[in-house]
């Protein structure tokens, strides 16, 4: 059997039944890793895990978990550790948007977005780091966004994504001594259900919206989930062992204020 980049590594990816999370789980599996697909819906998580296991001939498990619920997160990480034999990699990817201008934004819109992105990343990290600290090895990647730099109509999301940057830097300082790397990726526009929903909400056809957005991207196209998955895989590889506490933008161009 050939040894690949993630042979023997066990990766947990939240919100991985579709989009960037699914592409990331598949990327780890392609390079020999075992993966846990965590998502709200058990059937969707299991279906994604089965497709990955069948395609890449690796171990993949689907686990239902709402990342905002401590009891569910603790149980999910323990289930994954038991089924995969441990946890080496955590990707805090689960995310939602509840966009609105400040005067129309409800408390629920604010709390839900903070809950999934910030509380979710905190709870998953708390549970997973125990395994990583004990074995003195781990990789954590958090999903930030170019929206962290400010985006009209995304006060809650932008604040949460900026929060994840501070979370990443502080965690890197705390966990570095245990040989755990913590970094964040900050994607620009990636074609997923999330951005397609945004297009529909703004009254655009998703394809028309993609073309419109691509015009403002230096590289001349919008991103696809695998663009982000490739970067996450690099940050979780041992080649990136000296990269710690960094926020890497993946947006087809340098970040400027929009
Ligand atoms: P997506 O297609 O909407 O997928 C997000 C996944 O997260 C869904 O499967 C969703 O499950 C799951 N999820 C939501 N709330 C959850 C919870 N409480 N517990 C567990 N899972 C939950 O989104 P995406 O575009 O792939 O985005 C992935 C990450 O990248 C997010 O953090 C997003 O903010 C970030 N990001 C995306 C873009 C972009 O342009 N797409 C850009 C920058 C950053 P359900 O389907 O059941 O709700």
* pLDDT of 77: 98
CA atoms of 190 and 204, how far apart (whole Å): 16
Select from 37, 96, 216 the residue to mutate for testing ligand 1; criterion: most ligand atoms less than 8 Å from CB.
96
Judge if the beta carbon of residue 149 lies within 6 A of ligand 1.
Answer: no
Instruction: Give catalytic residue positions.
Output: 157
* pLDDT of 258: 54
- Tokens 């934004």 -> residue: 105
pTM: 0.98
Contacting residues for 99 by C-beta, under 8 A, at least 6 apart: 153, 154, 157, 198, 201
Judge if the beta carbon of residue 194 lies within 6 A of ligand 1.
Answer: yes
Judge if the beta carbon of residue 96 lies within 6 A of ligand 1.
Answer: yes
Helices (H), 176-219: 193-201, 206-214
Q: What is the 46 CA–ligand 1 centroid distance (Å)?
A: 17
Q: What is the 92 CA–ligand 1 centroid distance (Å)?
A: 10
CA atoms of 39 and 19, how far apart (whole Å): 12
Domains by residue range for the chain, with CATH: 10-188+223-250 (3.40.50.720)
CA atoms of 93 and 42, how far apart (whole Å): 17
Of all protein residues, the one whose alpha carbon is nearest to atom 44 of ligand 1 is: 145
* pLDDT of 2: 74
CA atoms of 222 and 215, how far apart (whole Å): 9
Residue numbers of the chain with a pLDDT score lower than 50: none
Residue 20 CA, closest ligand 1 atom number: 26
Select from 27, 160, 194 the residue to mutate for testing ligand 1; criterion: most ligand atoms less than 8 Å from CB.
194
* pLDDT of 91: 99
Judge if the beta carbon of residue 251 lies within 6 A of ligand 1.
Answer: no
* pLDDT of 256: 65
CA atoms of 21 and 211, how far apart (whole Å): 23
* pLDDT of 255: 75
Judge if the beta carbon of residue 193 lies within 6 A of ligand 1.
Answer: yes
Q: In angstroms, how far is CA 107 from the centroid of its own chain?
A: 25
């Amino acid at each position: 059997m050939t040894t690949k980049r993630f042979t023997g590594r066990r990766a947990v990816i939240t919100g991985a039944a579709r989009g960037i999370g699914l592409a990331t789980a598949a990327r780890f599996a392609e390079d020999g890793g075992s993966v846990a697909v965590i998502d709200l819906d058990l059937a969707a998580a299991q279906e994604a895990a089965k497709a990955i296991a069948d395609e890449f001939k690796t171990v993949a498990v689907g686990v239902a978990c709402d990342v905002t619920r401590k009891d569910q997160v603790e149980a999910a990480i323990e289930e994954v550790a038991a089924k995969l034999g441990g946890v080496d990699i955590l990707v805090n990817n689960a995310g939602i948007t509840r966009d609105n201008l400040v005067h129309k934004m409800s408390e629920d819109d604010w709390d839900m977005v903070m809950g999934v992105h910030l509380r979710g990343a905190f709870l998953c990290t708390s549970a997973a780091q125990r395994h990583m600290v004990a074995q003195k090895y781990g990789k954590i990647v958090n999903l930030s966004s170019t929206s962290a730099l400010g985006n009209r109509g995304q006060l809650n999301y932008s604040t949460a994504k900026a929060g994840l940057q501070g979370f990443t830097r502080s965690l890197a300082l705390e966990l570095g001594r245990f040989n755990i790397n913590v970094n964040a990726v900050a994607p620009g526009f990636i074609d997923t259900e999330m951005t397609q929903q945004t297009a529909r909400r703004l009254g655009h056809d998703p394809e028309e919206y993609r073309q419109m957005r691509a015009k403002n991207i230096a590289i001349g196209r919008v991103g696809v989930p695998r663009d982000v998955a490739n970067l996450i895989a690099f940050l979780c590889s041992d080649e990136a062992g000296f990269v710690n506490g960094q926020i890497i933008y993946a947006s087809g161009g340098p970040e400027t204020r929009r």
